[in-house]
Amino acid sequence: MQKLLVTAALALGLSSTAFANTGNIQFKGAITSGTCSIEIIDPVTGGKMDNVRMGNVASGRFNAIGDEGNSHPFAMRVTPGTGCDTTTNQGYVTFKDKYGAVGAAGELHALVAGGATNLGLAIKDNTGTLIANGSESKAYDLDDSAPTDMLFYAAYRAFGIPVTAGDANTDIGFVFDLK
């Protein structure tokens, strides 16, 4: 009986170490130098926007790859102040889609899965030049004492045919940088 208890105690002691596990945790982040106030606004009314409403577009409007539907303007208002010295700076914006990139060169922002297909969101600067997903915009000159509105346009763009009907939503993060 004593031999059986010693064997059981050894077995329990050995099995408790078998459940141990180790690993690594990665922490990633960035320290930025500026704290510029950025607001998304309607460039027509000047009012703050919670989101950019793209409206309804008929799937039949997209007949070829590259066709676009309903371009909508939005602006990013940069307000100079404490921590945001715009005296000799230009502002740049990098847009990065939460759902990844689509299009032949990954230039478009992917839409939420389960909605419209073969469609992405194109973001363009104020000259109409496409800003690829994850790429930096052109330089916008910033006023050193008054808010500056950096104008952009968003449009749905077909990257495949046929474009099917469905929700066409996405979430896009941005990084504003002074140079």
The mean pLDDT value for 142-167 works out to 95
Rounded mean pLDDT, 20-42: 71
| Residue 57 phi, psi (nearest 5) | -130, 130
Q: What percent of the chain has pLDDT over 90?
A: 66
Tokens of 52: 């950019």
Q: Is the pLDDT of residue 10 over 50?
A: no
Sheet containing 101-102: which strands, arranged edge to edge?
37-41, 68-79, 148-158, 119-125, 108-110, 101-102
The answer on pLDDT for 154 being more than 90 is: yes
**Of 21-30, 82-91, 128-137, 168-177, which range is least confident?**
21-30
Of the pLDDT bands very low, low, confident and very high (cuts 50, 70, 90), residue 82 is confident
Position 50 scores a pLDDT of 85
Res. 4: pLDDT tops 60? no
- Check residue 36 and give its pLDDT: 85
Domains of the chain listed by start with CATH number: 36-178 (2.60.40.1090)
Alpha-carbon distance of 7 to 1, in angstroms, equals 10
Q: Which of 73-82, 83-92, 135-144 has the lowest mean pLDDT?
A: 83-92
**Per-residue pLDDT band at 179 (split at 50, 70, 90):** confident
CB 52 within 8 A of CB 155: no
Which H or E element spans position 141? strand 140-141
The predicted pLDDT at position 86 comes to 86
Task: Give kind and range of the element (H or E) at residue 161.
Answer: none
Whether pLDDT at 58 is above 50: yes
**Cα distances (angstroms) measured from residue 59 to each of 29, 55, 64, 156:** 40, 13, 11, 11
Residue-level pLDDT at 178: 87
